[in-house]
């Protein structure tokens, strides 16, 4: 999946989750969702590798489940950079739930994209 496709998927996921869970996630507008997706991609490139390496013992100890905590921390950082009034979560637990859902959505979209290009024809 290309960078712009992932940006669009994350933007649509933010907007969708703010409609499905209005008490947990707040997105002011579609443009704030685009900015949040862009900030998330920058943080995923720069900060997430460092956090992943630092949390490696916990991730191994929990059989990989601690990676959702790292993803939730990245989402909370995104919220603080974009501004809580523009893009925010009600609690860290809500950020964990959003991290799990976003991981599932990205996994499904990535697999679907791989299936499309791997067909012999």
What is the DSSP track for 62-78?
A: TTTTHHHHHHHHHHHHH
What's the pLDDT score for residue 1?
A: 74
Task: List, as one string, the DSSP characters of 49-107.
Answer: HHHHHHTHHHHHHTTTTHHHHHHHHHHHHHHHHH-TTTEEESSHHHHHHHHHHHHHHHH
Over its C-alpha atoms, the chain yields an Rg (Å, rounded) of 15
d(CA 103, CA 114): 16
What's the pLDDT score for residue 83?
A: 94
d(CA 79, CA 84): 6
What's the pLDDT score for residue 111?
A: 77
Each residue's pLDDT tens digit in the chain (121 positions)? 788 989 999 999 999 999 999 999 999 999 999 999 999 999 999 999 999 999 999 999 999 999 999 999 999 999 999 999 999 999 999 999 999 999 999 888 887 766 666 665 5
Q: Read off the pTM.
A: 0.88
What's the pLDDT score for residue 118?
A: 64
d(CA 103, CA 87): 19
Tokens matching residue 81: 């950079």
Tokens matching residue 7: 């940006």
């Amino acid at each position: 999946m290309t960078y712009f496709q992932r940006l669009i998927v994350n933007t649509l996921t933010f907007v969708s989750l703010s409609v499905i869970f209005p008490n947990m996630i707040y997105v002011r507008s579609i443009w704030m969702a685009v900015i949040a997706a862009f900030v998330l991609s920058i943080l995923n490139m720069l900060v997430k590798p460092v956090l992943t390496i630092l949390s490696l013992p916990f991730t191994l100890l929990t059989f990989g489940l601690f990676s959702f905590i790292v993803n939730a921390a990245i989402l909370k950082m995104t919220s603080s950079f974009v501004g809580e009034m523009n893009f925010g979560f009600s609690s860290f637990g809500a950020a964990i739930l959003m991290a799990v859902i976003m991981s599932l959505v990205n996994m499904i979209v990535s697999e679907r994209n791989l299936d499309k290009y791997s067909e012999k024809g």
